């Protein structure tokens, strides 16, 4: 019988070649690109329309001087913030009975007014539902205050001009540095999470077909069960690596093209704490360990299923598990993580993503060695448990052996 590692290599090569050289692998590569491109297109087309739909519209019923003063004040505040930071104001010519006009405006379906602002600068009146106080009333108060201040300055015949703030540019600031590094951590964690959700969940259904056509029995008779699980893990990791290389190359070319069109490549002035080269290497390594950890767990769970229907039932809890692990990891990023940080580092399934955040915030490298050894140990344990459960509950053959007997792993012999 072949040794454990030799058998794992044979299984991995068999699955890798069978998957990569199939026609469906092209669809596997194209599907995420089509989804991302379609999502970007739809989000870009609907961004402005959605922002306009969510912005409250307030009817401004006042005399021409008051209307002009309020509109000018809003323009000044919007220039320093954004158009969506304040409600849209739509001037309406006052009627003879303003009270009746306000009621009509609020009932006007075509006008779609959230509130009506009437009166003067000295006595403004905002009419509308109570929920308008949460955004509309507070922002309009700032607009009216600005208009009153400018009116007071103009009445005193004083010239008020905006004074530009002198800028002294420094290399970095502690607060800005931590904020950017936290963003790098979130980006790395999100990347690992999204790719793992996309790829590792496929391992749930890996053994279903082979169990149905009895191929697994032939493999189990020829090689150790541990090598079957390891081989399939390595094969799926290699397949996902091919996908990442293709997607990353396309994304890199698109990014370079967009930067060349604008000027040239703009890299961030701030780097992660360990530096960009080490950070990129750690993201790749932690992606591999994260994939192996969750993949070995999903492979073990999927090995217990007997049909595709059972796999579909399992998929939802598995996806929720991944989401919970991701939330634990991103909430543990930062110097104030406390016990949540330790929990994210020690829980094997969140450890890779949590350590990506640690690499972004701290320049210490020795904790990564400990974390990788910890994660690799759990990969071995999960594979052993999965293979023993599969042998006992599905194959129903032979003695499952000792769970902690790792002589075969160390020597590469049959298990």
* 290-318 confidence digits (pLDDT tens): 888 888 888 877 777 766 677 667 777 77
Residue 415 has pLDDT above 50, yes or no: no
Q: Which residues have CB under 8 Å from 205's CB, separation 6+?
A: 302, 305, 308, 311
Compare 295 and 415 and report the one with higher pLDDT: 295
Residue 94 has pLDDT above 80, yes or no: yes
d(C-alpha 218, C-alpha 396), whole Å = 14
Q: What is the DSSP string of 118-158?
A: EE-SSSEEEES-GGGGGTHHHHHHHHHHHHHHHHHHHHTT-
Q: Would you give the end-to-end CA distance of the chain in angstroms? A: 10
pLDDT at position 285 is 92
Mean pLDDT of the chain: 78
d(C-alpha 303, C-alpha 81), whole Å = 56
Residue 368 has pLDDT above 90, yes or no: yes
- Span 378-406, mean pLDDT? 70
d(C-alpha 367, C-alpha 178), whole Å = 20
Torsion angle in degrees (nearest 10) through CA of 68, 73, 75, 80:
170
Residue 147 has pLDDT above 80, yes or no: yes
Q: Which residues have CB under 8 Å from 239's CB, separation 6+?
A: 15, 16, 19, 20, 25, 199
- What does the domain layout of the chain look like in residue ranges? 4-32+174-411, 55-155
Q: Is 140 left (phi over 0), alpha (psi -120 to 50) or beta?
A: alpha
Crossing angle of helices 225-262 and 276-303, rounded to 10°: 140
55-155 has which fold?
A: D-Maltodextrin-Binding Protein; domain 2 (3.40.190)
- Span 166-182, mean pLDDT? 68
pLDDT at position 56 is 87
d(C-alpha 349, C-alpha 241), whole Å = 20
Reported as a single tens digit per residue, the pLDDT across 346-366 is 888 889 998 988 888 888 899
Torsion angle in degrees (nearest 10) through CA of 93, 95, 98, 101:
-80
Crossing angle of helices 366-389 and 276-303, rounded to 10°: 10
Q: Using 50, 70 and 90 to split pLDDT, how confident is the model at 156?
A: confident
d(C-alpha 387, C-alpha 127), whole Å = 69
Q: Using 50, 70 and 90 to split pLDDT, how confident is the model at 6?
A: confident
pLDDT at position 403 is 47
Q: Using 50, 70 and 90 to split pLDDT, how confident is the model at 413?
A: very low
Determine how β-strand 88-92 pairs with β-strand 115-119: unpaired
- Confirm if 102 and 54 have CB atoms less than 8 A apart: no
Q: Using 50, 70 and 90 to split pLDDT, how confident is the model at 91?
A: very high
pLDDT at position 173 is 65
The percent of residues in the chain predicted with pLDDT above 90, rounded, is 12
* CA dist 365 → 131, 151, 274, 291, 350 (Å): 51, 61, 8, 22, 19
- Confirm if 119 and 125 have CB atoms less than 8 A apart: yes
Reported as a single tens digit per residue, the pLDDT across 31-79 is 777 777 777 777 676 666 666 667 888 999 999 999 999 999 999 998 8
d(C-alpha 232, C-alpha 3), whole Å = 16
d(C-alpha 376, C-alpha 371), whole Å = 9
d(C-alpha 394, C-alpha 377), whole Å = 25
């Amino acid at each position: 019988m072949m040794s454990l590692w030799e058998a794992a290599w044979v299984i991995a090569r068999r699955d890798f070649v069978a998957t990569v050289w199939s026609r469906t692998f092209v669809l596997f590569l194209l599907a995420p690109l089509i989804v991302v491109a379609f999502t970007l297109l739809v989000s870009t087309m609907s961004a402005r329309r959605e922002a306009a739909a969510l912005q409250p519209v307030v009817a401004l019923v006042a005399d021409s001087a008051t209307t002009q003063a309020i509109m000018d004040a809003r323009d000044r505040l919007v220039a320093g913030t954004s158009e969506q930071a304040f409600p849209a104001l739509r001037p309406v010519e006052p009627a003879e009975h303003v009270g009746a006009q306000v009621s009509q405006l609020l009932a006007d379906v075509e006008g779609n007014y959230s509130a009506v602002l009437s009166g003067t600068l000295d006595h403004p009146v905002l009419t509308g539902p109570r929920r308008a106080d949460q955004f509309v009333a507070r922002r309009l108060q700032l607009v009216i205050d600005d208009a009153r201040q400018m009116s007071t300055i103009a009445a005193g015949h004083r010239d008020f001009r905006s004074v530009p703030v002198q800028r002294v540019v420094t290399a970095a600031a502690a607060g800005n540095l931590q904020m950017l590094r936290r963003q790098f951590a979130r980006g790395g964690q999100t990347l690992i999470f999204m790719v793992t959700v996309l790829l590792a969940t496929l391992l749930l259904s890996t053994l279903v077909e082979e169990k149905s056509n009895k191929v697994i029995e032939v493999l189990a008779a020829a090689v150790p069960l541990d090598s079957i699980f390891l081989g399939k893990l390595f094969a799926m990791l290699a397949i996902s690596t091919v996908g990442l290389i293709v997607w990353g190359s396309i994304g890199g070319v698109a990014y370079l093209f967009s930067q060349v069109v604008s000027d040239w490549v703009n890299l961030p002035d701030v780097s992660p704490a360990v530096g960009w080269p080490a950070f990129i290497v750690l993201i790749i390594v932690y992606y591999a360990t994260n994939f192996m950890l969750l993949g070995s767990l999903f492979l073990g769970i999927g090995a217990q299923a007997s049909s595709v229907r059972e796999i579909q039932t399992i998929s939802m809890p598995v996806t929720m598990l991944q989401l919970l692990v991701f939330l634990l990891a991103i909430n543990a990023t930062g110097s104030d993580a406390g016990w949540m940080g330790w929990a994210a580092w020690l829980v094997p399934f969140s450890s890779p993503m949590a350590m990506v955040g640690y690499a972004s915030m701290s320049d210490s490298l020795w904790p990564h060695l400990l974390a990788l050894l910890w994660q690799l140990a759990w990969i071995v344990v999960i594979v052993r448990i999965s293979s023993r459960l599969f042998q006992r509950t599905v194959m129903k053959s032979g003695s499952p052996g000792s769970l902690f007997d790792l002589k075969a792993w160390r020597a590469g012999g049959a298990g």
